[in-house]
Structure 1
Amino acid sequence: MKLTMLGTGNALVTKCYNTCFVFSENNQYFLVDGGGGNTILQQLEKARINWMDIKDIFVTHKHIDHLLGVIWMIRMIAQYMNQGSYVGDARIYAHQELIETIEEIVKLVLNKKQAQMLHQRIHMISVEDGQTLSIIGHDVTFFDIHSTKDKQFGFSMQVNDQKITCCGDEPYNPKNQIYVENSVWLLHEAFCLYSQVDIFHPYEKHHSTVKDACQLAQSLNIQNLILYHTEDHNIENRQSLYIQEGQNYFQGNIWVPYDLDIIELKKINES
């Protein structure tokens, strides 16, 4: 299983793309969010992932830095379906409120012929808290992250004997301990360094710092922690600075990827 980080930044970044990523295995692809625009297509091209090979897309929540890239994906998929160039069907997973939002946006911004692909070959699949579905050959369990802003879902994926969990773009909620605890890989937001709280004010935005995410990972027996959805003011040194601060609070492996970085999702003791 590979994880390709198409984007790693928060909503206001300009030096990287908004957070979205792709899981891939055996020529199957699972896209999580789409960032804020059609740059999703450029990022996929740079990553050498053919967007037409992506059949499964999960949207965590309705914020524009996660949703609008998915609208572009739907537009491209629908257009090429109508041209006879897109093989097979596509599936969009989201909670029911977000499904309705996506459907409304599609009706407003795409032409009738493209919009008609919804529910014909682009299947809108509503997910519920605790529901498990098979995606790219693995069990994926979705969960409500209990957002303090807009309704948002994360998920936990079982890949062989390891658990890979994504908490969305807000801090972990203890109500989700069953999904997050003992994950071999945890994807968690880290808006900024704890030492820069007074500069970026993450708590006012309902986000975490590197310190917060690392303390959480340590308490939940996480082996590998991937930090994303960050600021980009010192992006050249972001990786080294975040790891340096995080190592004070977490004994596992800390990953601070840049856009287009690929992470091989293996256990720590695997070569």
Structure 2
Amino acid sequence: MSHPSPWFESPDDAARRLAEHGYLADPATATTAYLAGALEKPLLVEGPAGVGKTELAKAVARVTGAELVRLQCYEGLDEARALYEWNYKKQLLRIQATGEQSWEQTHDDIFTEEFLLTRPLLTAIRREQPTVLLVDEVDKTDVEVEGLLLEVLSDFQVTIPELGTVEAVRRPYVVLTSNATRELSEAVKRRCLYLHLEYPDAEREREIVTGQVPDLDTRVAEQLVAAVGRLRDLDLKKSPSIAESVDWARTLVALEIGELDEKAIADTLGVVLKHASDQDKAVRELKLRS
């Protein structure tokens, strides 16, 4: 690549700059974030929902001033939604307007840039400025989309039959996230650097929460982190994410709660647990009183 790397100079540089923008990376995360840029390899981040996988990609974009291009994966996602499709309505209008000209002329007229709808993968490949491509929740897609991703991530080029091959001028910084609801193919994993994220330990989570909510009392912060840890130990439908810990901290500051006792937890549980069955279980198991 002819461009200087816009990413990180070292793992320490990654850790420092990410922290300055509110993302506290442990040594493994900082090292892998640095290597993804230095080696120009996609980074696969796996772990339960709410541990900061998506936020890592957003933080890299914020830190480096890169544009974030996001492909949100879901069941039934196809090439047209991930890569590109033609604007058929506009093409039809052009065909009607051209009248009598030959099909060859019409074909050359309607299969041009003007009628191309670029989706996230093609958008990221074509950008000349630094770009972070986030392929979010890749485990929710079908195997066919994995094949498409393999094709794109191996060569960073896309062939559009009507227009030819589009090759990346500047490789994007690629982050794939997975909640591990299904096993990804070995071929995809082979092409990626791998990072497994878990919920942070109590000390790191306290740092994250107080970094985001500096008005939170130190003692309440410790009580909050302990309470979140107890909730995550329960067999819940959806454990509290780090973002929900931060939301809870903001709630406690807004309500001027100076002691996170059982009543305060029960009163504000809806900020961190979004399923009625989880709230019932928490109240029962932790013997909370409202």
TM over 0.5: same fold?
Answer: no
Structure with bigger helix share is: 2
**Higher RCO (C-alpha under 8 Å, 6+ residues apart):** 2
| Bigger Rg, which one | 2
TM-score scaled by length of structure 2: 0.28
After TM superposition, the score normalised by the length of structure 1 is: 0.30
Q: Which is richer in strand?
A: 1
